[in-house]
Amino acid sequence: MASRYAQVYAGWRADPERFWAEAAGAIDWISPPTRIFAPEEGVYGRWFVDGVCNTCFNAVDRHVASGRADQKALVYDSPITGKKKSFTYGELKDEVVALAAVLRAQGVEKGDRVIIYMPMVPEAVFAMLACARLGAVHSVVFGGFAARELATRIDDSRPRVIVSASCGVEPGRVVAYKPLLDGAIEAAAHKPEACVILQRPEQTCELTPGRDVDLAEAVAAAKAAGAGVECVPVAATDPLYVLYTSGTTGQPKGVVRDNGGHMVALKWTMENEFGVRPGEVFWAASDVGWVVGHSYIVYAPLLHGCTTIVFEGKPVGTPDAGTFWRVIAEHGAVALFTAPTAFRAIKGQDPKGEFIGRYDLSRFRTLFLAGERADPETIKWAEARLGVPVIDHWWQTETGYPISHNPVGLGQLPVKYGSPAVPMPGYDVRVLDDAGHEVPAGTLGNVVIKLPLPPGCLPTLWNADERFRSAYLSEFPGYYKTADAGYIDEDNYLFIMARTDDIINVAGHRLSTGAMEEVVAEHPDVAECAVVGMQDGMKGQIPLGFVVLNAGVAREPAEIEKEVIALVRDKIGPVAAFKSVVTVKRLPKTRSGKILRGTMQKMADRETWSMPATIDDPAILDEIGSALHGKGIGG
């Protein structure tokens, strides 16, 4: 069957407001919007300005009311703890209402912020939905971030309450959350009024008297008391959540997501882009701490009446490289969404895909990959072994759902390896040169999106309109800067090649090398430093630090390197995967003093590089070369 993509995209282009008004019809509004787009509102306009709604109602209550009460809403599958549990939509509603009652008892009201610092357990999802029910704004912080990252987010979002757990479980170790939580609260200037803590049997923690509430006890008490919490009406433009993402400094950016546009857009993507129907099982193997988790573990599948899977484990080692296939088979998933790095990990351990044949994957239709560039080799491996379409799509925390995709729901387009296919309705994607002129097809440049951004994309950064303008809108007036470099070919297929800023992508996780440099520079023996992203066969990229020691430091460089590594792990978290540091005499710089990070990265990656014309002292590159050589890195 021919794809309807071209026709649907043309329909959006011809009349975007009509397109989104129609899509909005799939949402239950308390008061439907009469104005679809208001260009005069917000930084670049706002969607559905006079609509009134509640996201929790659309994700939970309306399915209970419309005959899905006994359908599974959420399956928790945790090979790392050996636990499995499922919740129907009816049960999900009970859990969410009870937790909303607990939060309300702690003073949480519409507009208040709640930080959720949790491992991949169902309670994390309940907490998100409970906030949505109350009209409160959640901010989920990934469990792999350390206390300081949490503290920065506490100070920026100023939560009334934090929901957390006693621990997370990683292969071979239990991660105690309580010391991280306490450390963060101590370091932060803002203090939450209460913490609601899930005690996990793998490692419980002492609750802080007067501040901490036991989540399970409080939820049980709320249920016993029959506490009911109705969905609080919010404006479509009210924030649903703030999700912090790496910026170019240690201060992360608080990406704001509103209620109305987010629901409309996500609901539309499920059927049209992902080709999934209500009642089917959709699995995004990510973490609720990332945008993929927000959109495709929690909100989109639930808004669509699907069953979602909360998976607490890894693609390999929990217990083996067959875990993904076991989960798909056991729960009947029709689609899996993950990052290419997960497949590289599986392929590394099971190159022939022998585990795949041991499971019944007859219901599995599509594999979706995003979060980082999908290398053609990985896609071909997955296609050949799984026998289903493997679909690469491209988006960012800021947009919340795919910018470009191969929309299997509208009819799959031909796959071009290395390309996340074509722009989705809502997105007018262009490639500009540095002066802001559009470049011909096939020419590499800055990938931008013509304003306005579609519903669901960030309207601004939390309490930071000016930072939003300067980070995204000012360089190319009239466009949103994605900070990705790439090109569009003659068939309108997009190719994303690299970031134009200092963000690196480590195992599908977005990290700022600038933030790492800030931490490395804190070491008392470090005079100067640079962090670059170096290629890695499994994780895509990993950080590599260069340090110049203070004059007169007599200690062994190896010892200092170890301390620098520990410092980054302690301040940013293990997720930074910062494990390589090279001590050098000097850093290569331009005559104006700019560190030549790009050249050092090319040397580490054994790519051909040319002597930058502006270099101050070419001899330094020889020193860098031999220092890398000494560590067995680069050529």
Task: Give the residues lining the site for ligand COA (CB under 6 A).
Answer: 119, 143-144, 168, 170, 175, 286-287, 290, 292, 314-316, 339, 341-342, 345, 371, 507-509, 574-575, 577
What's the min distance (Å) between Cβ of 448 and ligand AMP? 12
Cα 546 off chain centre by: 28
Tell me the CB-side half-sphere exposure of residue 70, using CA atoms within 13 A. 1
Q: Closer CB to ligand COA, residue 37 or residue 343?
A: 343
Contact call for residue 484 and ligand AMP (CB under 6 A): yes
Contact call for residue 245 and ligand AMP (CB under 6 A): yes
Query: For residues 414 and 605, what is the distance between their CA atoms, to the nearest angstrom?
Result: 32
What's the min distance (Å) between Cβ of 285 and ligand COA? 6
Question: Which tokens is 603 given?
Answer: 């040397």
Alpha helices in 409-551 (DSSP H): 465-468, 513-520
Residue with tokens 């930080």: 115
Contact call for residue 397 and ligand AMP (CB under 6 A): yes
For ligand AMP, what does the binding mask look like between residues 194 and 233, x meaning CB under 6 A?
----------------------------------------
Tell me the CB-side half-sphere exposure of residue 262, using CA atoms within 13 A. 36
Is residue 395 a contact partner of residue 366, using CB atoms and an 8 Å limit?
no
Q: Which residues inside 262-291 make contact with ligand AMP, applying CB under 6 A?
A: 291
Amino acid at site 246: S
Is the link from the previous residue into 574 a cis peptide, with omega within 30 of 0?
no
Q: Closer CB to ligand AMP, residue 242 or residue 374?
A: 374
Instruction: Report angle CA 162, 165, 167 to the nearest 5 degrees.
Output: 140
Contact call for residue 370 and ligand AMP (CB under 6 A): yes
Query: For residues 595 and 589, what is the distance between their CA atoms, to the nearest angstrom?
Result: 4
Residue 499 binds what, of ligand AMP, ligand COA, none (CB under 5 to 8 Å, by partner type)? ligand AMP
**Which one of residues 8, 424, 496, 515 is an interface residue with ligand AMP (CB under 6 A)?**
496
Q: Closer CB to ligand COA, residue 97 or residue 575?
A: 575
H-run or E-run covering 194: strand 194-198
Residue 272 binds what, of ligand COA, ligand AMP, none (CB under 5 to 8 Å, by partner type)? none
Question: Which tokens is 447 given?
Answer: 């990938």
Terminal CA-CA length for the chain = 50
Please name which of 443, 401, 446, 444 lies closest in space to residue 424, comparing C-alpha atoms: 401
Q: What is the DSSP string of 605-620?
A: TT------TTBS-THH
Contact call for residue 95 and ligand AMP (CB under 6 A): no
Q: Closer CB to ligand COA, residue 476 or residue 578?
A: 578
Residue 286 binds what, of ligand COA, ligand AMP, none (CB under 5 to 8 Å, by partner type)? ligand COA
Part of the chain binding ligand AMP (CB under 6 A), chosen from 43-51, 225-233, 281-289, 391-399: 391-399
Distant-in-sequence, close-in-space partners of 561: CB < 8 Å, separation ≥ 6: 547, 581, 582, 583
What's the min distance (Å) between Cβ of 354 and ligand AMP? 28
What's the min distance (Å) between Cβ of 399 and ligand AMP? 8
Residue 175 binds what, of ligand AMP, ligand COA, none (CB under 5 to 8 Å, by partner type)? ligand COA
Query: For residues 262 and 559, what is the distance between their CA atoms, to the nearest angstrom?
Result: 49
Distant-in-sequence, close-in-space partners of 25: CB < 8 Å, separation ≥ 6: none
Query: For residues 303 and 73, what is the distance between their CA atoms, to the nearest angstrom?
Result: 10
For ligand AMP, what does the binding mask look like between residues 440 and 469, x meaning CB under 6 A?
------------------------------
Query: For residues 162 and 180, what is the distance between their CA atoms, to the nearest angstrom?
Result: 13
Please name which of 584, 395, 610, 609 lies closest in space to residue 508, comparing C-alpha atoms: 395
What's the min distance (Å) between Cβ of 530 and ligand COA? 22
What's the min distance (Å) between Cβ of 296 and ligand COA? 9
Q: Closer CB to ligand COA, residue 168 or residue 459?
A: 168
Question: Which tokens is 449 given?
Answer: 């999106």
What's the min distance (Å) between Cβ of 143 and ligand COA? 3
Q: Closer CB to ligand COA, residue 175 or residue 530?
A: 175
Please name which of 384, 391, 422 lies closest in space to residue 408, comparing C-alpha atoms: 391
**Which one of residues 91, 95, 273, 392 is an interface residue with ligand AMP (CB under 6 A)?**
392
Number of residues in the chain: 635
What's the min distance (Å) between Cβ of 274 and ligand COA? 14
Residue 397 binds what, of ligand AMP, ligand COA, none (CB under 5 to 8 Å, by partner type)? ligand AMP
| Three-class SS state of 244 | strand
Contact call for residue 429 and ligand AMP (CB under 6 A): no
Question: Which tokens is 264 given?
Answer: 């409309």
What's the min distance (Å) between Cβ of 504 and ligand AMP? 9
Contact call for residue 140 and ligand AMP (CB under 6 A): no
Paired strand residues for 335: 282, 366
Report how many residues bind ligand AMP under the rule CB under 6 A: 19
Name the site residues for ligand AMP (rule: CB under 6 A).
Answer: 245, 291, 370-374, 392-394, 396-397, 420, 482, 484, 496, 499, 505, 510
